[in-house]
Amino acid sequence: MEKKENNTKIWGCLLHLSFNMWEDYISPHRPFRGFRPYLELSEPLWNDAINKMAKEEMNMVVIDLGDAVRYESHPEIAVNHAWSTDRLKTELDRIRSLGMEPIPKLNFSAGHDTWMGEYSRMVSTEEYYKFCTDIIKEVCTLFDTPRFFHLGMDEESMGHQSYQSHVIIRKNEAWWKDFIFLVGEVDKNNSRAWIWPDYMLWNEADQFFKKMPKSVVQSNWYYGENFDLGQMNENEQKYVKSYIDLEIHGYDQIPTGSYHADNEKSISNTVQFCKKHINDSRLLGFLQSFWKPTIEEHRERILKGIELMGDAKQWFEKNS
């Protein structure tokens, strides 16, 4: 069954049930990273964030599930106090009742897959493929055949894993084999794959544009506030020009901003730049991220980030 595309622009925020993307992380400037064997979640903040998204007229909530759900197919990866599948389905119904579309995210980057438990050390094996098949199928069922399935796939590099004691990096054909397999599993379940393209796009652009299926939704990301290419160094230009390169090659995009640091203008400037440079038919919408666990320590930042996304949405609609 082919799902009918929704032509309404996406205004979404990424919210974390699980933040277990790093096995260990000793970087002094990011102490909140690393594996925790229990569900680290403030449900009051989660509820307030969902309600704030509805108030700001967001229409999508991307949920980073990870190991925060006790899946029936693989209960062994669940952290202590993980949500049951019934609890998750109840929450998905609540999100829909507020006029928003819940979308699942599981990050399959070998640099962000600590949530997989023992399977994160089985990358590219038959056991790994079986696990991925099972978990994608179950999540698609839990979400009642979601329109999109975010596969992550970002930052699979030595630089991004330099603080970790266990490093796995797929390159070239090894990366593409696993990636195309994951996209195929999403397709089998009548959803559409969505990724962060940075790992291949920024480093192996020729490979990327030769092999990346047009069916895969691209969320290039740049979290700075300056979009003036003339004032950037070559490396910074690469991040911003990727939006233009994806447009030239005809990919559907959901550009991503953030409010994880002192960068309040990230999402608003992303919206303004991409509205100018991406054809409206391929600009599916925008995603705001916070890159913090959903705990009270980060309440102000998460709620402010949602508000910034609401402001960006208002600007876009006034100028369309």
Is 90 exceeded by the pLDDT of residue 22? no
Please identify which residue in the block is written with the tokens 């999109």. 148
Distance CA(117)–CA(64), nearest Å, equals 16
For 169-226, the pLDDT digits (tens) are 999 999 999 999 999 999 999 999 999 999 999 999 999 999 999 999 999 999 999 9
pLDDT band at 48 (very low <50, low <70, confident <90, very high): very high
Distance CA(43)–CA(177), nearest Å, equals 38
Quote the pLDDT of residue 215: 98
Is 60 exceeded by the pLDDT of residue 4? no
Measured CA distances, 129 to 39, 100, 139, 147, 198 (Å): 26, 32, 15, 23, 23
Quote the pLDDT of residue 27: 63
For 102-149, the pLDDT digits (tens) are 999 999 999 999 999 999 999 999 999 999 999 999 999 999 999 999
pLDDT band at 2 (very low <50, low <70, confident <90, very high): very low
Distance CA(269)–CA(272), nearest Å, equals 5
User: Counting beta carbons within 10 angstroms of the beta carbon of residue 165, is it exposed (0 to 12), middle (13 to 18) or buried (19 or more)?
Assistant: exposed
Q: Stretch 261-277: mean pLDDT, rounded?
A: 98
Q: What is the domain partition of the chain in residue ranges?
A: 10-318
Helix axes 299-318, 266-277, angle to 10 degrees: 30
For 216-261, the pLDDT digits (tens) are 999 999 999 999 999 999 889 999 999 999 999 999 999 999 999 9
Quote the pLDDT of residue 141: 98
Quote the pLDDT of residue 34: 83
**Domain 10-318 fold:** TIM Barrel (3.20.20)
